[in-house]
């Protein structure tokens, strides 16, 4: 299949409530949508797909740059893609994979590999993972009632929730957790400390919790080298998340390491993800595909990818509730932004003479 046209758009979506990015908060999300058309032969039926490319970087509500997630900026990715589009036009779709492997930007590598997978129809046949793990965190302006209501409203098909910790005081967070367990004693918890505790604080906190209700705690310690000692002291399994964003991260098995939280937008190509998942699972480490706060388009693709790459796990994709509109793919919201409503930032189409050249070249090959 040959790439016949490529269109790049930008989106900016306001959020109804602040979303946590580690310890920071954002009130909008911006990113790119790349649309591509490909056909087997000129004049043939063509396939048209869109992917979201949205590095998790930018400015938080306090005008601070947020740290610890994507290293590349949206502007860098947009520039790289604008230069890339004319090179991609007229090429075989497998070229997308070459560029994905070469790109220094994980978000771009992921987006190009996903575009390839979608053009190949690899996401079509699969039923997306619809179960998700509700995310409970402390919006600075919301009280305890909001959490109580959210927990009370959870269906009985929900078996795990994810709770952000190391954000306020240990007392308040313990009371939140015990409140959840009082309402739903059957729930298992995935805690996420986002490296917010010292070793001593992490141990003190974990010591106050019933171990058998905790699936794992993500990144318990400020210094991840302390995670092992945390585990040895308290026996609470932990997961890695931010650690995977280090460009030099290599999987290493360690006592107590139970899960990797895999955010494709931060890590790179689908091939790279699949290799990491294979390695981790061969050590019995679970892999949980998780959101990087993508729009409904990106989340829908992650739900499909999770069904393919980690069919036995429920992904962490409960981040759409803060968005007040859907983008290109409906998640059931009242407001919907279509591609036509986005601002185009770069376009490339091979014209019909190029197309017939290509057609001729292809016929000669055969």
Ligand X SMILES: O=C(O)CCC(=O)c1ccccc1C(=O)O
Q: Judged by CB under 6 A, which stretch of 115-123, 167-175, 269-277, 316-324 contacts ligand X?
A: 316-324
Q: Which residues contact 320 (CB under 8 A, 6 or more apart)?
A: 295, 296, 299, 331, 333
Q: Which residues contact 108 (CB under 8 A, 6 or more apart)?
A: 53, 72, 77, 80, 81, 100
Q: How far apart are CA 166 and CA 76, in angstroms?
A: 32
Check binding of 192 to Mg ion (CB under 5 A): yes
Of 47, 118, 162, 164, which residue is the catalytic one? 164
C-beta closer to Mg ion: residue 21 or 49: 21
CB distance 235 to 224 below 8 Å:
no
Structure tokens at 33: 């949508």
CA distances from 217 to 3, 175, 206 (A): 44, 17, 9
Which of 31, 196, 220, 316 touches ligand X by CB under 6 A?
Answer: 316
Q: Please give the residues from 151 up to 180 whose contact with ligand X meets the rule CB under 6 A.
A: 162
Q: How far apart are CA 37 and CA 5, in angstroms?
A: 5
CB distance 269 to 97 below 8 Å:
yes
Min dist CB 9 to Mg ion, Å, is: 29
Check binding of 70 to ligand X (CB under 6 A): no
CB distance 300 to 293 below 8 Å:
no
C-beta closer to ligand X: residue 90 or 316: 316
- Binding partner of residue 269 among ligand X, Mg ion, none, CB under 5 to 8 Å per kind? none
C-beta closer to ligand X: residue 52 or 241: 241
Structure tokens at 50: 């869109």
Of 263, 333, 334, 362, which residue is the catalytic one? 263
Check binding of 293 to ligand X (CB under 6 A): yes
Per the annotation, the verdict on 162 as an active-site residue is no
Q: How far apart are CA 350 and CA 24, in angstroms?
A: 43
Q: Sheet of 24-39: strands edge to edge?
A: 46-53, 24-39, 2-21, 343-349
Tell me whether strands 286-289 and 257-262 are parallel, antiparallel or unpaired: parallel
Residue 121's Cβ-count burial label (10 Å; 0-12, 13-18, 19+) is exposed
Structure tokens at 208: 């106050």
Check binding of 241 to Mg ion (CB under 5 A): yes
Site size with ligand X, rule: CB under 6 A? 16
Q: Judged by CB under 6 A, which stretch of 144-152, 174-182, 271-279, 312-320 contacts ligand X?
A: 312-320
Min dist CB 234 to ligand X, Å, is: 21
Check binding of 215 to Mg ion (CB under 5 A): no
63 assigned binding-site residue: no
241 assigned binding-site residue: yes
Check binding of 7 to ligand X (CB under 6 A): no
Per the annotation, the verdict on 334 as an active-site residue is no
Half-sphere exposure of 91 (CA within 13 A, CB side): 17
Check binding of 24 to ligand X (CB under 6 A): no
| Residues 72-111 as x/- pattern, contact with ligand X by CB under 6 A | ----------------------------------------
Q: Which residues on neighbouring strands pair with residue 274, listed in sequence order?
A: none
Check binding of 292 to ligand X (CB under 6 A): yes
| Residues 234-263 as x/- pattern, contact with ligand X by CB under 6 A | -------x-------------------x--
- Binding partner of residue 262 among Mg ion, ligand X, none, CB under 5 to 8 Å per kind? none
Min dist CB 207 to Mg ion, Å, is: 21
Closest residue to Mg ion, Cβ-based?
A: 241
C-beta closer to Mg ion: residue 96 or 293: 293
Q: Which residues on neighbouring strands pair with residue 188, listed in sequence order?
A: 160
CB distance 264 to 271 below 8 Å:
no
Residue numbers annotated as active site:
164, 263
Interface ranges with Mg ion (CB under 5 A)? 192, 218, 241
Interface ranges with ligand X (CB under 6 A)? 21-22, 133, 135, 162, 192, 194, 241, 261, 290-293, 316, 318-319
Binding residues for Mg(2+) are: 192, 218, 241
């Amino acid at each position: 299949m040959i790439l016949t046209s490529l269109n790049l758009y930008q989106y900016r979506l306001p959020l109804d409530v602040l979303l946590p990015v580690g310890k920071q908060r954002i009130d909008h999300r911006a990113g790119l949508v790349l649309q591509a058309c490909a056909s087997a032969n000129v004049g043939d039926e063509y396939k048209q797909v869109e992917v979201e490319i949205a590095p998790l970087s930018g400015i938080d509500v306090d005008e601070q740059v947020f740290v610890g997630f994507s290293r590349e900026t949206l502007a860098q990715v947009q520039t790289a893609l604008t230069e890339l589009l004319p090179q991609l036009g007229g090429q075989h779709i497998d070229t997308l994979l070459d560029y994905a492997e070469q790109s220094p930007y994980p978000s771009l590598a992921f987006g190009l590999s996903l575009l390839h997978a979608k053009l190949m129809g690899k996401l079509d046949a699969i039923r997306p993972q619809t179960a998700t793990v509700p995310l409970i965190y402390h919006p600075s302006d919301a009280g305890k009632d909001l959490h109580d209501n959210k927990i009370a409203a959870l269906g009985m098909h929900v078996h795990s929730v994810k709770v952000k910790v190391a954000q306020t005081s240990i007392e308040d967070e313990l009371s939140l957790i015990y409140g959840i367990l009082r309402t739903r004693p059957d729930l298992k918890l995935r805690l996420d400390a986002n490296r917010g505790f010292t070793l001593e604080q992490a141990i003190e906190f974990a010591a106050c919790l019933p171990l058998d209700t905790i699936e794992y705690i993500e990144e318990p310690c400020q210094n991840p080298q302390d995670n092992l000692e945390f585990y040895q002291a308290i026996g609470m399994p932990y997961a890695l998340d931010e650690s995977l964003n280090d460009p030099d991260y290599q999987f290493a098995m360690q006592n107590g390491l139970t899960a990797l939280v895999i955010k494709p937008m931060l890590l790179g190509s689908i091939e790279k993800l699949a290799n990491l998942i294979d390695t981790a699972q061969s050590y019995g480490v679970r892999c949980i595909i998780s959101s990087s706060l993508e729009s409904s388009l990106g989340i829908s693709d992650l739900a499909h990818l999770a069904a393919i790459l980690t069919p036995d796990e429920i992904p962490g994709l409960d981040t759409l509730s803060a968005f007040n509109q859907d983008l290109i793919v409906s998640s059931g919201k009242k407001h919907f932004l279509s591609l036509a409503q986005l601002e185009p930032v770069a376009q490339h189409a091979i014209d019909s003479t190029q197309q017939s050249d290509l057609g001729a070249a292809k016929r000669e090959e055969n």
